[in-house]
Amino acid sequence: MESVTDKFLRYVSYDTQSDDESVSQPSTAKQLILLNLLVDELRALGISDARIDKYGYVMATVPSNIEHATPVVGFLAHVDTSPDMPGANVNPQIIKDYDGGDIVLNKEKNVHLSVADFPEMKDYKGQTLITTDGTTLLGADDKAGVAEIMWVVQYLQTHPDFKHGTLKIGFTPDEEIGRGVVKFDVAKFGADYAYTFDGGPIGELEYENFNAASAQIRIQGKNIHPGYAKNRMLNAIIIAMELNALLPPNQRPEHTSDYEGFYLLVKIEGTVENAELQYIIRDHDRNGLERKKSYLKSCVELLVQKYGDDVFYFVMCDQYYNMREKIEPHFHIVETARKAMEEAGVMPLIKPIRGGTDGARLSYMGLPCPNIFAGGHNFHGKYEFIPVESMEKACEVMINIIKLTAKK
């Protein structure tokens, strides 16, 4: 059997960045290279119905090998990596028997993975870490989840005596840009419930996430020669700065944690003539999200009164909601995951996701879907790393879930 580590290292060699400016589905053709490879690998393992649809969704069935009826359980992961950091030419470094100290990622560029910055590194002393080379992201989000699911399928197909119910496998594109399951056919997938293996450090078990909205504001300035600008010029950049200054500084991501929501200015660009701001707005409480949306709208309206209707274009839309209200009526699936972790010797860390997950949208589409750790740290950047042992434990947890759901 190919190890989960070897699978992971193979998958991260593919550049699968998604593109939030693309209107295609999937957003980049290069994601299809890995998605089609996964279909080929599933078929080579004997999964005859493995297929990919026109939107890039891979679905497959591992048939039951027991006589009694069991729930149909799904496992999902996404193949795309974040646009925030280069994802091509990933050159993983393997640190065996990690000594608990700082790791030099790139001597030439003086990039270090520092324990002072990331004290959780010490938790993995003696283990094998996979890091970047300091120039790209690693891709553990979520190629670790992909590798873990593929390893488990391989295990089941090569161990026919292991008893299990019907399982559904899904791989998706574009999760990193919030479009991962927009066109996913839940009925076609055919699971009663599912788990995304898209979490972070070992032990994470999540069934709560942010409610999310986005906002785009365009500002039409008036560019006048600066020598004759008095009482005539409208500097769009200055107005954009004025708008951002109206938002509470203590509600930025760098000042929030746990259940605290935030406003994040993700993009600002412009000239005197035109400027554009893009925000994401997050809160675990739906009413809290609505309050934040309302406040941002009131800030724009205040500046409209000051500068005029024709200066502002403002649009805001909801992106996804907290999956908690959809999962709590099926809480046994969280308890199953908790027990599966405990049987693997992993302490469950149940906490809210300070982000989103495909499972949130799937839960609102009728497929309850908590999120389980895949093992990585510091996603979306050059400091990303993953312990091999965490990936192996994720595989064990998945096997335990399968075992528990196969019982009468």
The residues annotated as belonging to the active site are 80, 175
How far apart, in whole angstroms, are the C-alpha atoms of residue 310 and residue 222? 11
How far apart, in whole angstroms, are the C-alpha atoms of residue 217 and residue 294? 14
How far apart, in whole angstroms, are the C-alpha atoms of residue 196 and residue 145? 8
How far apart, in whole angstroms, are the C-alpha atoms of residue 167 and residue 181? 19
- Rounded to the nearest 5°, which phi and psi values hold at 394? -60, -40
How far apart, in whole angstroms, are the C-alpha atoms of residue 323 and residue 66? 32
The dihedral sign for the CA sequence 119, 123, 126, 130: negative
How far apart, in whole angstroms, are the C-alpha atoms of residue 192 and residue 187? 10
Residues forming beta bridges with residue 274, ordered by sequence position = 220
Residue 91, by phi and psi: left (phi above 0), alpha (psi -120 to 50) or beta? beta
End-to-end CA distance of the chain: 30
**What residue type is 105 in one-letter code?**
L
Residues forming beta bridges with residue 35, ordered by sequence position = none
- Stretch (H or E) spanning 269: strand 262-270
The answer to whether the beta carbons of residues 277 and 242 sit under 8 Å apart is no
User: In degrees to the nearest 10, what's the CA dihedral of 172, 175, 178, 184?
Assistant: 10
